[in-house]
Structure 1
Amino acid sequence: MSEKHDPYDHDPADAGWSKSPFSGDSNGNCVIIARFPNGDVWLGDDKNPDRPHLAFDQAEWAAFAKAITSGSPDFTA
């Protein structure tokens, strides 16, 4: 059985953070995202960029995005 990789295992210097173009908020109240070539995704807080971020591997991010876009209120879809 192969060991699952750790989506936190990236160099923070490689995280090219971006904010959604749909965000009109310039007050620092947005979620920022960093994508990595292997499909890992980090989510952060633009008003406090030094705060620890959340990390998802490609499968976790796909499940999270599917739950959000399906309108599932409890994100268990």
Structure 2
Amino acid sequence: MPDRHDPYDHNPASAEWTKSPFSGDDNGDCVIIARFDNGDVWVGDDKNPGRPHLAFDQAEWTAFIQAIEAHDPRFTA
């Protein structure tokens, strides 16, 4: 079985963070994301950008988005 790549294995200086279009006003309570050419995605917190971020590879990110779109109860309030 081939080694799985590490979605954290990117240079943080190369991350271009953008605010999620689903975030609210610019009140510091926003989710920010950085996308990489290989499909990896980092998720961070704009009110505390120095806090560790979450990293997903392309398959994990796709599964996460599909679960949200399917109204998976784990992701609803």
Normalising by structure 1, we get a TM-score of 0.91
**Alignment RMSD, CA only?**
1.2
Residue of structure 2 equivalent to 1:6: 6
Residue of structure 1 equivalent to 2:41: 41
Moved more, 35-44 or 22-31: 22-31
Maintained 8 Å contact 2:29/2:46 = yes
Residue of structure 2 equivalent to 1:70: 70
Q: CA deviation at 1:24?
A: 3.9
Residues 39 and 49 (structure 1 numbering): CA distance in 2 closer, same or farther, change over 3 Å? same
Structure 1 unpaired stretches of 5+: none
Structure 2 unpaired stretches of 5+: none
Q: Aligned runs of 1:44-63 on 2, under 5 Å?
A: 44-63=44-63
Moved >4 Å (runs of 4+): none
Identity, in percent, stands at: 73
Normalising by structure 2, we get a TM-score of 0.91
Aligned residues: 75
Residue of structure 1 equivalent to 2:31: 31
Q: CA deviation at 1:22?
A: 4.5
